[in-house]
Amino acid sequence: MLGSRKKYIVNGSSGIKAQQIQFADQKQEFNKRPTKIGRRSLSRSISQSSTDSYSSAASYTDSSDDETSPRDKQQKNSKGSSDFCVKNIKQAEFGRREIEIAEQEMPALMALRKRAQGEKPLAGAKIVGCTHITAQTAVLMETLGALGAQCRWAACNIYSTLNEVAAALAESGFPVFAWKGESEDDFWWCIDRCVNVEGWQPNMILDDGGDLTHWIYKKYPNMFKKIKGIVEESVTGVHRLYQLSKAGKLCVPAMNVNDSVTKQKFDNLYCCRESILDGLKRTTDMMFGGKQVVVCGYGEVGKGCCAALKAMGSIVYVTEIDPICALQACMDGFRLVKLNEVIRQVDIVITCTGNKNVVTREHLDRMKNSCIVCNMGHSNTEIDVASLRTPELTWERVRSQVDHVIWPDGKRIVLLAEGRLLNLSCSTVPTFVLSITATTQALALIELYNAPEGRYKQDVYLLPKKMDEYVASLHLPTFDAHLTELTDEQAKYLGLNKNGPFKPNYYRY
């Protein structure tokens, strides 16, 4: 398939003047490539893959929380609006403080907000979003609003929403439908409330995991007549887009943010390198030194997890299907194994493949007592949690997001976040790294929204190299970093423009 890649030439105009965003006047080449209880449920018509991603047998929150469902509350913000559904609008002040802290660590978004606000490059854009709702994504949403967009938002994960941040957004006038501990029915209800609005129809989609895009395809396909494009962040969502494209069912252009350099090499690697330890420590209080850990998958997420655990003194094994990633693991000093070879002896099992049934019931049955099992991939399909919901096994809540699953002989495993994304469900993630991804998402939305008709076909595109370089350059001042500039002679020798792009699209960083 690699030999048959098509190339698209893109002007890169985003509706912002060249002196503000310098990639505006460049023609860029894109590569298209494949990437490896009592309410009636709204989700019956949704595909099994979507339901698997975010279904839950039980919804829970901390015991200190109000147990009344937000759907049963009548809340209004200070402006009198009730077009939102959050846990408690009274928490808005605390959420606002968290957002203000996040802004200090998101220099590129704040710079973009300042540089492009006068031009309003997203004026007229109606963006419906489904992402994690945290202080960092709140800065992204408010930046999109400052650039002229109207936004409606739901959460892409039932456990990752920060209730106080959702309240702050609702208080600021953003229609947000999300709270921590949603049920499966709540999850789809929130997405529907974002999409199905009288007198308001989205013309852009910002998705993380593909569930929002999938819902619109299934329930409101006619909406795609007015939608200009989709921006997708996760490997799961990108995989779904390529499936639609291959089947000829993708009816709007889509931007694959997940495979942009700024997402792969920074968010996936550096974010997970720090947050894996945070998530495990907060939930289990364990010491890592000397522990035996198996990490399933050695992509950028796996590389980050392995590096962090190795640095803490853990003995790390890796499983891989790709011989190139496998060789990288070996050269980095990790032993490559099959999961069956070490499953009886390891203390921690971490999945980060983007696949399904990586850890099966057979593996779970063979694990040692008190083995910790968790997932760092986007969806909860990697660990076969459904197979553990059987009469012979006992589930015991230890603390929020931590369950003991107990076998008849007394053996137990420690399951974190019911197999969902560990770092955003159980801890937090580094704000600065998320600034890189969020800025890339914002620029992708600007590009798709302002692109003239015909520039993008109904297919999946990668971001232009110049855009990646621009995002990186916005973050360098934080480190007081000084880039070396090419001389005219050097630029001519290398055949480059002095202002970039500095690498061809096929270059692997």
Three-state DSSP at 485 gives: coil
The amino acid at 435: S
CA distance 142 to 164: 16
CA distance 16 to 440: 15
Q: Is 258 annotated as a binding residue?
A: no
DSSP code of residue 31: E
Interior/surface letters 53-90, b for 16+ CB within 10 angstroms, e for the rest: bbbbeebbbeeeeeeebbbeeebebeeeeebbbbbbbe
Q: Is 300 annotated as a binding residue?
A: yes
* Size of the chain in residues: 509
CA distance 390 to 220: 36
CA distance 74 to 481: 50
| Residue the block writes with tokens 């993380």 | 208
CA distance 107 to 21: 15
Q: Is 303 annotated as a binding residue?
A: yes
Q: Is 198 annotated as a binding residue?
A: no
Q: Is 301 annotated as a binding residue?
A: yes
| Residue the block writes with tokens 């965003």 | 21
Q: Is 488 annotated as a binding residue?
A: no
Q: Is 80 annotated as a binding residue?
A: no
CA distance 509 to 501: 14
Burial (CB < 10 A; 0-12, 13-18, 19+), residue 158, is buried
| Residue the block writes with tokens 């990108």 | 238
Bridge partners of 127, per DSSP, are 151, 204
CA distance 366 to 24: 56
Q: Is 279 annotated as a binding residue?
A: no
Burial (CB < 10 A; 0-12, 13-18, 19+), residue 124, is exposed
27: number of Cβ within 10 Å: 11
Q: Is 354 annotated as a binding residue?
A: no
CA distance 426 to 317: 24
CA distance 444 to 230: 9
Q: Is 267 annotated as a binding residue?
A: yes
Q: Is 368 annotated as a binding residue?
A: no
258: number of Cβ within 10 Å: 24
CA distance 186 to 173: 21
CA distance 124 to 204: 10
Q: Determine phi and psi for 81, rounding to 5 degrees.
A: -80, 145
Q: Which residues are annotated as a binding site?
A: 134, 208, 233, 263, 267, 299-304, 320, 423
Q: Which residues are annotated as a binding site for NAD(+)?
A: 299-304, 320, 423
Q: Which residues are annotated as a binding site for substrate?
A: 134, 208, 233, 263, 267
